[in-house]
């Protein structure tokens, strides 16, 4: 906790001072982010840092492997789905970016099945990647196989978003776009999915 308190003091004396008018404005008038980012919880893959975002710019959902779960209408507690609904229907975001990353442990676990059964909830969450595993290029070596699944995971989440009726309606009305990307932790490169060539392209 000491590290967090020290970091807060640095923030309060630095960035908050520099941006306090923006914080006041956001507190008075509420947030109006244009972008929802769905990213991995991995500590190395922070959307606000990668996109140099200011307070109020990004509405962010982070979970293991940046997975959009299937649409399930039941009485269970769907944290990711609830946040997607809030971002689209209440905040009226114009863009959803699904961002995976290199060296994703969640994605690797889907390939090697190496998931501790003593960790609650994890296996059924990682099992959501099965359709992406089936599409992965298994002929490649391990590094390329994992990278392939990291990209397929992003595409699967993008597809599942379109199964949410309120997302599909806004996309079809031209009010919302869905994008995908993969962040390279070691080299800092960002690949963005390019629909015109149906492939990820480094920018
Ligand atoms: Zn990850």
Domain co-membership, 132 together with 115 = yes
Number of domains in the chain: 2
Give 40 Cα–ligand 1 centroid separation in angstroms. 5
0.85 surpassed by pTM: yes
Give 43 Cα–ligand 1 centroid separation in angstroms. 9
Residues forming a β-bridge with 58: 35
Residues forming a β-bridge with 61: 38
Span of 98-107, 108-117, 151-160 with lowest mean pLDDT:
108-117
Closest CA to 155 of 105, 125, 191, 123: 191
Domain co-membership, 4 together with 39 = no
Residues forming a β-bridge with 36: 59, 96
Give 104 Cα–ligand 1 centroid separation in angstroms. 4
pLDDT tens for each residue of 56-101: 999 999 999 999 999 999 989 999 999 999 999 999 999 999 999 9
Domain co-membership, 170 together with 197 = yes
Give 197 Cα–ligand 1 centroid separation in angstroms. 25
Give 100 Cα–ligand 1 centroid separation in angstroms. 7
Give 39 Cα–ligand 1 centroid separation in angstroms. 8
Q: Is the pLDDT of residue 140 over 80?
A: no
pLDDT tens for each residue of 27-67: 999 999 999 999 999 999 999 999 999 999 999 999 999 99
Domain co-membership, 64 together with 108 = yes
- Give the separation between CA 11 and CA 197, rounded to whole angstroms: 42
Domain co-membership, 21 together with 54 = no
Give 113 Cα–ligand 1 centroid separation in angstroms. 15
Instruction: State both tokens at 176.
Output: 């919302």
Q: Is the pLDDT of residue 164 over 90?
A: yes
CATH number of the CATH domain containing 54: 3.40.1050.10
Give 17 Cα–ligand 1 centroid separation in angstroms. 33
Domain co-membership, 119 together with 40 = yes
Count of Cβ atoms closer than 10 Å to residue 38 Cβ: 28
Domain co-membership, 56 together with 122 = yes
Domain co-membership, 4 together with 42 = no
Neighbours of ion ligand 1 (CB under 5 A): 40, 42, 104, 106
Give residue 22's domain range.
Answer: 1-29
Domain co-membership, 103 together with 149 = yes
CA distance from start to end of the chain: 37
Give 181 Cα–ligand 1 centroid separation in angstroms. 13
Domain co-membership, 58 together with 109 = yes
Domain co-membership, 23 together with 37 = no
Query: How is the beta sheet containing 95-101 ordered, strand by strand?
Result: 58-63, 35-40, 95-101, 177-183, 190-194, 199-202
Domain co-membership, 11 together with 61 = no
pLDDT tens for each residue of 182-198: 999 999 999 999 999 99
On whether the CB atoms of residues 36 and 97 are closer than 8 A, the answer is: yes
Give 101 Cα–ligand 1 centroid separation in angstroms. 6
């Amino acid at each position: 906790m000491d590290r967090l308190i020290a970091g807060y003091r640095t923030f309060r004396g630095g960035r908050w001072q520099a941006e306090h008018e923006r914080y006041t404005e956001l507190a008075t008038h509420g947030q109006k982010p244009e972008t929802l980012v769905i990213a991995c919880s991995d500590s190395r893959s922070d959307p606000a840092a990668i996109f140099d975002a200011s307070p109020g710019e990004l509405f962010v959902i982070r979970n293991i492997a940046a997975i959009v779960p299937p649409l399930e209408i039941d009485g269970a507690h769907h944290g990711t789905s609830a946040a997607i609904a809030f971002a689209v229907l209440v905040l009226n975001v114009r863009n959803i970016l699904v961002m995976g990353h290199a060296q994703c442990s969640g994605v690797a676990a889907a390939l090697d099945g190496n998931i501790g059964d003593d960790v609650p909830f994890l296996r059924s969450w990682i099992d959501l990647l099965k359709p992406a595993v089936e599409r992965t290029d298994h002929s490649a070596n391990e590094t390329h196989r994992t990278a392939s699944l990291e990209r397929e995971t992003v595409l699967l989440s993008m597809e599942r978003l379109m199964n949410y009726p309120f997302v599909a309606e806004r996309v079809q009305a031209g009010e919302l776009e869905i994008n995908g990307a993969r962040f390279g932790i070691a080299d800092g490169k960002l690949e963005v999915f390019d629909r015109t060539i149906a492939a990820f392209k480094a920018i």
